[in-house]
Amino acid sequence: GELRLHKDISELNLPKTCSISFPNGKDDLMNFEVTIRPDEGYYMGGTFTFSFSISPIYPHEAPKVKCKTKVYHPNIDLEGNVCLNILREDWKPVLNINTIIYGLYHLFTEPNHEDPLNHDAAAVLRDNPKMFESNVRRAMHGGYVGQTFFTRCM
């Protein structure tokens, strides 16, 4: 898995809104972080960090991806689990790290209320997009949405 991962990382072609880092140093490619700073949409101006944990049998198993930033989002729950089809049933070995990062970025530009992990956020997005927008802003500035406190991520 590490050779293929090395190839994926060397061929990354990320949008300017995304960056990758290796908290354990370059010797540990199997664990890294990706930071996304959306420049459009509800989450514009926020900074969101995801941890990637790569299996030794990659690419035959999808990376495990968690959001380390607490975020008010229909497709990311408060524990950081991410609902992205290519990380689950639609994963194929031909996909790569670049594909996943673009998929994560897409979650911020176009959140999807139809496949939610955070059902409250999804319902608000579906029924009242203006209120959803103000909830996202409140969460990103560091504040409560309902009973949940979010730390500032702007």
The residues annotated with a catalytic role in the active site are 83
Q: How many CB atoms lie within 10 A of CB 151?
A: 11
CA 139 – CA 148 distance, rounded (Å): 9
Assess contact for 30 and 84: CB atoms under 8 A: no
